[in-house]
Structure 1
C-alpha cells in the first residue's frame, strides 16, 4: 500500500498543473448592438472554426499528399484554409458549390483537388449557412434552431463518410482516426464531437430563448391585472 501511494504521488507530480485559462475577447463597440444570445452564437462559430483548423492540420499531417497538390508546405496550405474560412466568396476548387453540395463534392471519389481543404471549407460553409449565412449577429438577427440542429447532424454524417468511404483502390479518401494493436488515435472523433456539441447546445439555447419569450409575453398578459398599481389617495 505504501509503495502504491508513492507511485500515485509520483504520477501526480508529473501531471501538468497548468492547462490554460478561460479568456474573453477584447471589447468591441459593435457589442453594444448585440445580445447575450448574439455573442453566444458568434463565440460558438469562432470556436468551431478553430476546431476545423485543428482538424485541417491533423488531416494534413496524416495526408501530406493533399497539401502538396497546392502549396509548398503544410503551413502554407493551412494559411490558405484559414483565409478561406473567413472569406465570403466561394472557394474555386469546389466549383461554385456551397454547404452540403460542397461536402458531397469534397467527399466524392471523383474530386482530384486538395481534399483536406475542400472538406474543411465545406464543413465551415455548412455551419455558416445554417446561421443564415451570417458570421456576426445583432439584436434584429434571428437564427433558426432547426437549421443549427440540422448542421450538427450533417457534421455527424460527414464524419461517418470520412471514416468509411473508400476510393476505387479500396483506400480511405483521407486517413483520420486510427485504431491498431499498437496505437489508438481518436482525436478526429473528439474534435468533431466538440463541433457537434456546440451546434446542439446553440440549437437548444435558441429554442429556449424563443420559448421563454413567448412564455414571458403570456405571463405579462396574465399578471397585468394583478400587478396593476392601486390608487393611494
Structure 2
C-alpha cells in the first residue's frame, strides 16, 4: 500500500537514491533539503514535493512539521538521513568538533522525530528511521572518528526510548547502521579504497522501503546492520 513518506537529507548521495526508490514504488514523497540539485529526475512527478527547511533549527522544524501534518493529514514514515562525518580521535575532538557533530547527527534527527513521533502515536501507526553507523557500534572502529561515532550512538538510545514509549502500538523507531556508503563524495574522499566492498545506496534504499512497508508490520525495536564486505 502506498505511504506518505518524509525524507530529510533528500538531496544527498543516499537521499536522492532513496527518493527515487520510493517514487518507483508508488509512495508519496516529501523530500526535505536545503537544495534539490540532485532531484531533477523527480521534477513534475505527481507524488513528489520538495521542501526547504533548516534541519538544525528546532523552531523552524517544528513549524514545518505542523504544516505538513495539516497539509497531508497522515505521515506514515520519516527517514531522517541528515548527518555529517568527521575524523578525529579524543585529542582532536574538542568541544567545537563535538557540538558540530551533535548538531548534524543527533539534533537534526531529534528535532524532526519529536513532533513526528507524537503525530504517529496519535494516529496509531508510523515508522521513524534513524541513520546510525557501524562505527557507533564498534569502539575499535569509532575511536578515530570519536565525535562522529559518539553522536551517532545517541540515535540507538533514542530509538530504544521511543520504542519503550510506543510499546503495544504500531509505531516503531528503527536504526539502520551501514558501513561505508558508496557515494560520489566518499569516493572522492577515499580514492584508493575498494569501492566494491562498500554499501550500495540502492541497497539501503530498498531496506528503507521495506521498513516502511506493510511487510515489516510485526517488527519491533529493530537495528539493521548493512555492511556488505567493508
Normalising by structure 2, what TM-score? 0.27
Structure in which a larger fraction of residues adopt helix: 1
Normalising by structure 1, what TM-score? 0.27
Q: Which has the larger radius of gyration?
A: 1
